[in-house]
Amino acid sequence: MSLAARNLTRHRRRTLVTAAGMCLGVTAALVLQGFVVGLLGLIGGVMVQGRLGAVQVHKVGHLQADQEALQFTLPLDPALMAQIEAVPGVVAVAPRLSFEATIGNGSQSTLALVTAIDSVREAKVCPQRFRNVLGAAIGRDDLAVAVLGIKLAAGLRAENGENLQLLAQGQGGQPNVVDIKVLGRAPAAVEMDARRLVMTTLPHAQALLQMPNMVSEYAIGIARTDQADAVARQLQHVLGPKYQVVSWLDLLPQLRSILGLLSSVMAIVVGVLLSLMVTAVANTMVMSVHERTREIGTMMALGARRHWLMRLLLAEACLLGVLGTATGAVLGTLLVAQLHAHGVTFTPPGADVPSTLVPSVDVWAVLLTTAVALTGAVTAGVGPAWRASKLTPTECLRMT
pLDDT computed for residue 302 by the predictor: 64
Q: Show Cβ contacts of residue 235 under 8 Å, excluding neighbours closer than 6 positions.
A: 55, 57, 84, 87, 90, 220, 245
Model-level pTM? Answer: 0.74
Of the candidates 77, 52, 72, the residue with the CA atom closest to the CA atom of residue 221: 52
Q: Show Cβ contacts of residue 202 under 8 Å, excluding neighbours closer than 6 positions.
A: 95, 96, 97, 116, 117, 118, 141, 215
Residue stretches of the chain with pLDDT short of 70 = 1-12, 14-15, 65-67, 171-173, 189, 191, 193, 288-310, 312, 347-354, 383, 385, 388-400
pLDDT computed for residue 389 by the predictor: 64
Residue 337 amino acid letter: A
pLDDT computed for residue 93 by the predictor: 92
CA distance 298 to 10: 18
Q: Please, what is the Cα angle at 23 between 19 and 25, to 5 degrees?
A: 115
Q: What 3-state class would DSSP assign to 252?
A: coil
pLDDT computed for residue 219 by the predictor: 92
Phi, psi of 177 (to 5 degrees): -130, 140
What residue ranges do the domains of the chain occupy? Answer: 2-46+256-399, 61-240
pLDDT computed for residue 220 by the predictor: 92
Q: What's the burial of 66, exposed, middle or buried (CB within 10 Å: 0-12/13-18/19+)?
A: exposed
pLDDT computed for residue 275 by the predictor: 77
Q: Show Cβ contacts of residue 359 under 8 Å, excluding neighbours closer than 6 positions.
A: 31, 34, 35, 37, 38, 336, 339, 340, 344
pLDDT computed for residue 399 by the predictor: 60
pLDDT, tens digit, 9 for 90 and up, residues 289-315: 666 666 666 666 666 666 666 676 777
